[in-house]
Structure formats: C-alpha cells, structure tokens
Structure 1
Amino acid sequence: MPTFSIILPCFNAEATIATTLASLTAQTFTDWEAICVDDGSTDATVFLIRSAARRDGRIRLVRNSAKGPSAARNMAALNEATGDFLAFCDADDLWVPGKLNRLRETFGDRSIDAVYGRIGFFNTEPGDTGVTSSVPQGDLTIDMLLGENPVCTMSNITLRRGVFERTGGFDPAMVHNEDLDWLIRLVGHGARVVGVDQLHTWYRTSPGGLSTDLAAMAEGRAQALRTAAGLGVRPSRRSHAIHYRYLARRALRTAPGRGAALRLSLSGLLHSPAGFLSPVRRGGLTLGGAFVALMLPRGLRQSLFS
C-alpha cells in the first residue's frame, strides 16, 4: 500500500500530460501511485499515459469516458486509490520535486486532515510570470474560501483518504467551482485544513480556459453560497469584497468589455472598502487597472493585463 495516491483526471491532454507525469516521477519521496483517469480522450493522451506506465509501474490508466472531472476524481478516490493520502493533480499542472516529502512531514501532525501550499502561475515555463499565491494565517475557513480561495486549484490539495470518503466526494453535476463546493463541505464537516508557506504546485494559466468564464464562475459561486448556507455560514462583507476583486482581476485578463473590471471593482468596494483594498498594493492595482482598461482597446487590454 503506497503512502500517496495521486489522482489525475485527463481529457485530450496530449500537450501537457507527459510533463505533468514527469513532475511526479521527479518527486524526492517515491512511495506513491498515480491513477490517471481518462475521460474519453480522442488525441494521444491514452498513448502517452500507457508509455509512461511502461516506464514506471507506479503509474496506471483507468477509463471513465465522458463523465467529467468530478466523476473521474470520485471514481479514482473511492474505488481505485489504495494510499493513506489522496493528492490531486490536474493534467496540465506541475509539482515541485519536494512536494510529497514536505506533505509527509506535515501530516506527521495527526490533527491535520488536509494540506495545501503556495502555487506559482506560469504560461510556458515554471516561473515565467513571477506570480505566486499566498497562504493566509490559521486553518482554512469557509469565509476564506468564499473570498479568494487560497487553495486555488485541486492540484494543490492533499488529504487523508478516510476524510475524503466522509465528504461524499465531488458533485458531478457541477461544471465550475465544483472544487470550491467540495472544499466548503470538507471544512464545514469539521476537517482541519492547513496551509504551509512553501511552493508546492505550478499552475498553468489558460486565457481561454473555463476558469476565465465569468458567467460560469458566477453560477458556480451561487451553488457554493448555497452549500455554505446549508452549513450555517454566510459570507462576510469582507469575503464578498475580496471575491469581487478576484473577478475584477479575471476580467482584466480576459477583457470581456471595457467596463467589466470597473463594475466588479465598485461592487467590491461597496461591500467592504477595507476588504477590497487589503493588501493595498493588490486592491489599488486592481482598481487602477480597471480605470485604465476603460481607455484601451480589447487586444491591448488583454495583452497588458494577461
């Protein structure tokens, strides 16, 4: 039985899956299995996974055609995984070589149920944007998640297998923010989730990806708010403001319209000026960018803020 079961949902990932798997085989802690769940790929994804599996017996392929990433993660976590801990990784992200070793050390504290770290955003090569996430102080709370989710991506969360089973898994009906909905249920049911101030994951940005679809994000957040309300939690005005700042920054990158980022920024300021502007550098730059965007054509806006 391995220490870690790594779960990778895959769909038409031929451009990235080989480098993602290479980041797993480069881990300094070697007691793991990687379960690659293909969701009906029509490109070379399956061939590349099988090739990697022939070179490394810790990697294996299972099929879960056309059911979506949530169903793929549930199937692997509940039916295939044998490790003590479940570590999720998307097929286009990369792990820092020492990630699993650091997680093993952190889980030495038996009171900790799940762990996340910092992520670095990249376009082509790790480090090319110079942007990394931050880890707030204290255990993860639902209000943090309803602001600007510090976990950021499923590639940045690892937890004890039994804890995942108690959450009931992901909602396969959700197509956006299903990770946020699950994290809210994870924390709401009493799991202790801690962040460590170490870089764990490289997150590949995609200007046309689902995470840039503001309408889908709004629908997903509405479901997350309903989940939180069912657990007796209402978001603070501060978390609302932080969420609107996050959306404003997304709008600057995707350039849906000149005024979109400014409208979102003003909504955030109305909820909580202190929340939106904390830290001042982040809030102030977002607000300033929203005003500048009013004067720029779409192509220049997208190029400048991407």
Structure 2
Amino acid sequence: MPSLSIVIPSRTQPRQAAFLQAALKSVRAQTVVGKFPMEIIVGIDLGERAPAELVDEPGVRFVEGYAKSQVAALNAAMRESTGAFVAILEDDDRWCPNYLELMVDLATHASLVTTNEIEVDESGALLFVSDCATPSAWLFRRALWEQVGEFDDAYRYHFDCDWLGRVREHGAARIHVVDANAPFEPEEMARDRPFLANIVRQNASTIGLAKHELKHPLVVRMRHANAGMEQIATQAGPAAQSQAELQRLVARYGEVPR
C-alpha cells in the first residue's frame, strides 16, 4: 500500500489563509482519500506561525522554513515528509478530484510524473492551457528527491527548472500526462502544442507521454498579484532576477529544462 506526502509551500501574504483553505479543500476532495496513508505538511516562512484559522486544522502539520522564501519552505516540508511518494501543491493552486489517483498509479512506472495545467486569473476565468509542469503538477518517488537532492535555494523563481534539469542528468524515468485534446503525432504537436513538443524533445531518452480522458488539465494554477510569474511580468526587479536565473540555467544545461 503506497504512502503519500502532500507538501504545500505557503508564503506569508494577506490571503495566505484563504489560499491554504482552498488548497486543503482540493486535497480532501481527492478520490484516493482514505485508500492509503496520507500526510499533509505545510512549509511556512522563517519566524512565522500557521495562520490562526488553520492552527487546529486536523491532519495538517506546519513546518517553519529556514529562510523567508518559497524554496526554504518547500525544502523544510520535504525534510519532514515520510511518504514513499510526494506530491507538491503550492497554496494558490488546485487539483481536480482524480488527480492523485491517476498520478500515483503512473508513479509505479516512473520516478517522476508530471502533467500540464490550466492557468486562471483571480476570478477563476481561464487564461490559457500550459503544457509546462510546475511543482503543483509533479508527483515523484521520495527516493528520487533523495537521489537528486534538495531544491536549490539560490534560485527564487526557477528552482523547478533546475531540479528538472538534475532529474534529467540522473536519467530518471518520467511520464508526462496531457489532456485528451493533446496531439501525439510529432508534426501536429510541433504545430499545435510547441511547448509540449519541446518537453518531449528535451527529455527524449527518459520521458513517456500519457493521456487522461478529460479535455482539460487536472491542475489549476492561479495567476494573482503575489504570484512569482506575475511579479516577473510586471516588476523590473523580479524580471531582472528571473532573466539572470534563466541565463544560469542555460549556462549549465544548454537550455532551460522543462
């Protein structure tokens, strides 16, 4: 029987409690709840406490990070996790109810399972479908994290790309799951879903594709004022830091790993 750790990094910000409550609701709506052991660990900023509304939340453990950063909160929670499998859910993202059931099943065949996402605005309106797999769309064997190592806290915005690059360097098997509308033929993929085609090209020796039956991705990613990608798009400082991190990734891996 598999054991699963749900790791939720959560930074201090005005809507932290509301975001966390919605994230926990999506975890508890999963079809696998009660079918195997599951723990929920929330990583928070150094020097902070759990939001007052969630102090007594059943089945949730809060872990203080070693710095005030997303990566520090995530690494701290990962260190406390005990499951054979780990799924990350950033507090402003959501999973469809059958997400974990599908991902855990596929993780018996590969060390890392990733999937694509829907991006929405703060009102829930659809922005676009992204074939990129951010951490909220990862489920992996804990043994892989122990082999590849912790997330690099020298990165603020693109630590996930660096970790995927290290996974690729280790030659770990990966499955990328897409929606029912996604093309599998190379010519169609290159034309209609170029980002997906790039993921397949980058990881050609280690990746396999799988489809689920729904016509939309299983992960909902929110774009809001405090989100890192929104800060990069609207603020000069974050944009410059992001560019420097991307250049560092290209220098090491020859491209930005996806």
Tell me whether the two structures share a fold, i.e. TM-score over 0.5: yes
**Aligned partner (choices 215, 228, 235) of residue 210 of structure 1:** 228
Normalized against structure 2, the TM-score is what?
0.73
- Equivalent in the alignment of 1:222: 247
Task: Render the CA deviation track for 1:214-272: whole Å, top value 9, x for unaligned.
Answer: 322211101211331xxxxx34xxx89xx9xxxxxxxxxxxxxxxxxxxxxxxxxxxxx
CA contact (8 A) 1:35 1:61 kept: yes
Measured in 2, the distance between the counterparts of 1:38 and 1:14 equals 12
- Equivalent in the alignment of 1:27: 30
Pair 1:174 & 2:155 matched: yes
Q: SS at the partner of 2:55?
A: helix
Q: SS at the partner of 1:6?
A: strand
Change (3 A) 1:16 1:208: closer
Pair 1:129 & 2:126 matched: yes
Measured in 1, the distance between the counterparts of 2:142 and 2:50 equals 27
Using CA pairs under 8 Å that are at least 6 residues apart, name the structure with larger relative contact order, 1 or 2.
Answer: 2
**AA of the residue aligned to 2:23:** T
Which residues of 2 match residues 35-74 of structure 1 at below 5 A? 35-40=41-46, 45-53=50-58, 57=59, 59-64=60-65, 66-74=67-75
Q: Highest Rg: 1 or 2?
A: 1
Task: Render the CA deviation track for 1:190-213: whole Å, top value 9, x for unaligned.
Answer: 112221114221100025632131
For structure 2, which runs of at least 5 residues remain unmatched after alignment? 180-216, 233-238
Q: SS at the partner of 1:27?
A: coil
- Equivalent in the alignment of 2:7: 7
- Equivalent in the alignment of 1:113: 111
- Equivalent in the alignment of 1:161: 142
Q: SS at the partner of 2:57?
A: helix
Identify which range, 206-215 or 8-17, moves more after superposition.
Answer: 206-215
Aligned CA RMSD, in angstroms, stands at: 2.4
The structure with the greater share of residues assigned to helix is 1
Measured in 1, the distance between the counterparts of 2:226 and 2:89 equals 20
Identity of aligned residues (%): 26
Q: SS at the partner of 2:126?
A: coil
Shift of the alpha carbon at 1:48?
3.0
Measured in 2, the distance between the counterparts of 1:192 and 1:123 equals 33
Superposition misfits of 4+ residues, deviation over 6 angstroms:
none
CA contact (8 A) 1:211 1:217 kept: no
Measured in 1, the distance between the counterparts of 2:39 and 2:252 equals 32
Measured in 2, the distance between the counterparts of 1:159 and 1:35 equals 16
For structure 1, which runs of at least 5 residues remain unmatched after alignment? 135-149, 229-233, 244-306
Task: Render the CA deviation track for 1:21-44: whole Å, top value 9, x for unaligned.
Answer: 1111111111321100111476x8
The structure with the greater share of residues assigned to strand is 2
CA contact (8 A) 1:17 1:45 kept: no
